[in-house]
Amino acid sequence: MSVHTENSHEVIDEDKRDFIYIATGTVVAAGAAGLAWPLVMQMGKAADTLAAGAIEIDLSKVVEGQQLKMLWRGAPVFVRHRTAAEIAEAESVDVSDLKDPQTDDERLVPNPAGKLEPQYLVMVGVCTHFGCIPVAEQNKVKPQGEFGGWYCPCHGSHYDTSGRIRKGPAPKNLKIPPYEYISDTVIKVG
């Protein structure tokens, strides 16, 4: 649409003005978004943090009844050499009653021979509630919880001998990290 002003030679083309406003606004918005992107992304994980990804653990060094704690990506990984009684308890649980249903076998990874080794339980030792480290020592100062596995001292979550959440505020079972057997006794986490 065109509007003639008092001076009939001067014509204001309003469509052209609208176009200029919208075009300018678009360029400014795109520029602002383009600038905001690096400002936001710099907060994320840096390349060296991402690179420090994998550790190797020799399972044969963990004796029965013992738990090994290794630092992986800034958090501990638990390797528990479970006793026969603990395995039996973990396998006897009725999965349908659980908050986060998983069988004990689903929480293990097969060895090079394609078999599960239920005596070795490998988990990320971080409570799925707010990230504290559950304790497993079987004494009064550090109880292992009502289900014989782990107890989180922060907000009272109880995990069983398979690291599954049984009681308390945590929503999920203790996480199983991505790992594989690189020999009969050594695993690579990450």
Partner 1 sequence: MSGHPSTYEPKNGFTKWMDQRLPIIRMGADFMTYPSPRNLNYWYTFGGILTLCLVAQIITGIILAMHYTPSVDAAFESVQRIKRDVPFGWLLQPMHAVGASMFFFAVYIHMFRGLYYGSYKAPREMVWILGCVIYLVMMATGFLGYTLPWGQMSFWGATVITGFFGAIPVVGESVQQWLLGGYAVDNATLNRFFSLHYLLPFVIAAIVGLHVWAMHHAGQNNPVGIEPKSKEDTLSFHPYYTAKDFFAICIFLLIFAYFLFYYPDSLGHADNYIEADALETPAHIVPEWYFLPFYAILRAVPSKLLGILLMFAAVAVLFILPWLDTSKVRSMRFRPVTKLWFILFVIACFVLGWHGALSPDDPVMGVKSVWWSRAATLYYFSFFLIILPVMGLIETPKDRPDSITKSVLGEASS
DSSP β-ladder status, 157-160 and 148-152: antiparallel
For residues 41 to 60, the per-residue mask of contacts with partner 1, x marking binding by CB under 8 A and - elsewhere, is --xxxx--x-----------
Residue 76 in the binding site for partner 1 (CB under 8 A): yes
Give the side-chain half-sphere CA count within 13 A for 62: 22
Amino acid at 151: Y
Q: What is the DSSP letter of 123?
A: E
Active site residue 9: no
For residues 153 to 172, the per-residue mask of contacts with partner 1, x marking binding by CB under 8 A and - elsewhere, is xxxx-----------xxxx-
Please identify, using beta-carbon distances, which residue of 121 and 165 lies nearer to partner 1: 165
Q: What is the DSSP letter of 135?
A: B
Beta bridge partners of 187: 57, 181
* Contact stretch for partner 1 (CB under 8 A) within 30-38, 101-109, 112-120, 134-142: 134-142
Q: How far apart are CA 77 and CA 25, in angstroms?
A: 51
Please identify, using beta-carbon distances, which residue of 145 and 148 lies nearer to partner 1: 145
Q: Which of 16, 69, 105, 178 binds partner 1 (CB under 8 A)?
A: 69
Q: Which of 30, 71, 85, 95 binds partner 1 (CB under 8 A)?
A: 71
Q: What are phi and psi of 41, to 5 degrees?
A: -70, -25
Tell me which residues are annotated as active site.
155
